[in-house]
Structure 1
Amino acid sequence: MDIQWRKSSKSTDAEGNCLEVAVVGGEVLIRESDQPGLVIKTSRAKLRAFIDGAAAGEFDDLA
């Protein structure tokens, strides 16, 4: 299976270190470009909830 990985157009790291995202079937796949063998699988709904929570500051106290 040929997975089409995408990264943000705002990713300007000269070394290419960034998060990449792909959608396969109903799953969202996430990986770091410098560790392409480690892939996180999630759903669109769970990823949206995480992004919304991060934008709202829900994880700011994690240190």
Structure 2
Amino acid sequence: MESNWRKSSHSSDQGGECVEIAELLGAAVAVRDSRDITGPVLGFEPSAFAAFLDRTTAAG
């Protein structure tokens, strides 16, 4: 999957929990583990991803 991936600002450079996101054609958001870039990728509609971020950042 050729996309412009960027690491979450909540990910550390110390090998902890690392997540990357990318915007895909068709206005989808993709999420993957930055330590396994050839592994599975989750796809979300932008509104679902925004709701996910709202809930997870409010909890943290």
Task: Give the structure-1-normalised TM-score.
Answer: 0.68
Q: Which residue of 1 aligns with 2:12?
A: 12
Is 1:38 the counterpart of 2:32 in the alignment?
A: no
Bigger proportion of residues as helix: 2
| 1:47 partner SS | helix
Percent identity for Structure 1 against Structure 2: 38
Measure the CA separation in 1 of the matches of 2:9 and 2:50. Answer: 19
The answer (yes or no) to whether the contact 2:7–2:34 under 8 Å persists in 1 is: no
Counterpart CA distance in 2 for 1:7 and 1:35 is: 13
- Structure 1 residues without counterparts, runs of 5 or longer: 58-63
CA distance in 1, matches of 2:53, 2:17: 20
Give the Cα–Cα distance (whole angstroms) in 2 for the partners of residues 42 and 53 of structure 1. 15
Q: Report the structure number with the largest CA radius of gyration.
A: 1
